[in-house]
Amino acid sequence: MVKSVQVLLSSYNGEKYIAEQIDSLLAQTHPSVDIFIRDDGSSDNTKTILKTYLRHGNIKVLWGSNKGVIPSFFELLSKASDQADYVAFCDQDDYWKRDKIEAALRQLEHIPEDTPCLYCGRVELVNEKLEHVGMYPLRKKGPSFENAIIQNIATGCTIVMNQAARKKILEKVPQYKNVIMHDWWFYLVIAAFGKVIYDKESRMLYRQHGGNTVGADHTIIGRWIKRFKRYVKKREYGFITRQAQEFMKLYGEELDKEKKKTLFRFLESRKTFSRRLLYMITGNTHRQTWSEDVISRIVLLLNMV
């Protein structure tokens, strides 16, 4: 029996690329794909473009007011079809390879239906013309709860999850102001209570342009210099800590003994310099590479997370 997939897309002023993205969704090789779009109050030509796609029987659009990307995706998730076997997440400005959904389902289909499972993967970086410019760093250590506390490796536009994962995430909706990004929260929840699959192959093209450039610096140092500048400019001190606190508040009593201990130690280390210094040496949260981990621990010591 063919498994059904519903793709969730949040749009906002995406007139430049959204048609190309939707076309790539319609071209998927998997035979049972529905597309559920929520427009987040676009003020450009996006709504007009979306209306032209309503002739397709497998596309539905929810016209919403502007509330931001995190609430928009949570609303999509809550209103997604209970009958779909899987839900996938999609950005408005990328381009999916034709076998993206099929490749995800090949890995998801072996997981028991009652086990919350989230699939994610590597992305290929391209320019505005979809020309190759590089690859997003490979996540060699793979997914884990210890990683999810301080790093997100589940890029939203690669995520496909089963209904068990969807229901687990929707059990307890966080305060959005304490969530760094929806995909990071999804990764954190399923790493704690289910299974996360990381695909080392790229199944989609991640477009780099003025509005979303993340790949301008491909070196470790370059990315962390940019991060330091962002912390200083936006005063985002404590963002990771606030998200971890929110997670502990909502799910702390459900965590198994080891995961609860891991999260508790991380949060306790934030309180004083001496605790941060000790955690810098003995903490078990980690990033994906040794060099990133070293820099991350320095940032932790400086209380900039």
Pair (66, 118) in one structural domain = yes
Q: Of 161, 65, 81, 69, whose CA–CA distance to 113 is shortest? A: 161
Render 63-88 in DSSP notation, one character per residue.
Answer: EE----HHHHHHHHHHHS-SS-SEEE
Q: What is the pLDDT of residue 107?
A: 97
| 37 within some domain | yes
| 212 within some domain | no
Number of domains in the chain: 2
Q: Of 68, 56, 186, 74, whose CA–CA distance to 119 is shortest? A: 186
Q: In what order do the strands lie in the sheet with 160-162?
A: 59-64, 33-40, 5-11, 86-90, 160-162, 117-121, 195-199
Pair (200, 238) in one structural domain = no
d(CA 149, CA 95): 29
Supply the range of the domain harboring residue 228.
220-301
**pTM (predicted TM-score):** 0.91
Pair (49, 155) in one structural domain = yes
| 256 within some domain | yes
Q: What is the pLDDT of residue 298?
A: 84
| 215 within some domain | no
> Could you count the other beta carbons within 10 Å of the beta carbon of residue 249?
13
Pair (120, 194) in one structural domain = yes
- Of 207, 239, 261, which one is at a domain's C-terminal end? 207
* CATH number of the domain to which 160 belongs: 3.90.550.10
| 234 within some domain | yes
Query: Which residue reads 């932790």 in tokens?
Result: 300
Q: What is the pLDDT of residue 235?
A: 42
Pair (267, 179) in one structural domain = no
Q: What is the pLDDT along the chain (305 residues), one digit of tens a residue?
A: 899 999 999 999 999 999 999 999 999 999 999 999 999 999 999 999 999 999 999 999 999 999 999 999 999 999 999 999 999 999 999 999 999 999 999 999 999 999 999 999 999 999 999 999 999 888 989 999 999 999 999 999 999 999 999 999 999 999 999 999 999 999 999 999 999 999 999 999 999 877 664 444 555 556 656 655 554 444 455 789 999 999 999 999 999 999 999 999 999 998 888 898 988 888 899 898 887 888 878 888 887 77
**How far is C-alpha 125 from the geometric centre of its chain's CA atoms?**
16
Q: What is the pLDDT of residue 230?
A: 52
Pair (49, 194) in one structural domain = yes
Pair (93, 139) in one structural domain = yes
| 243 within some domain | yes
| 54 within some domain | yes
Q: What is the pLDDT of residue 212?
A: 61
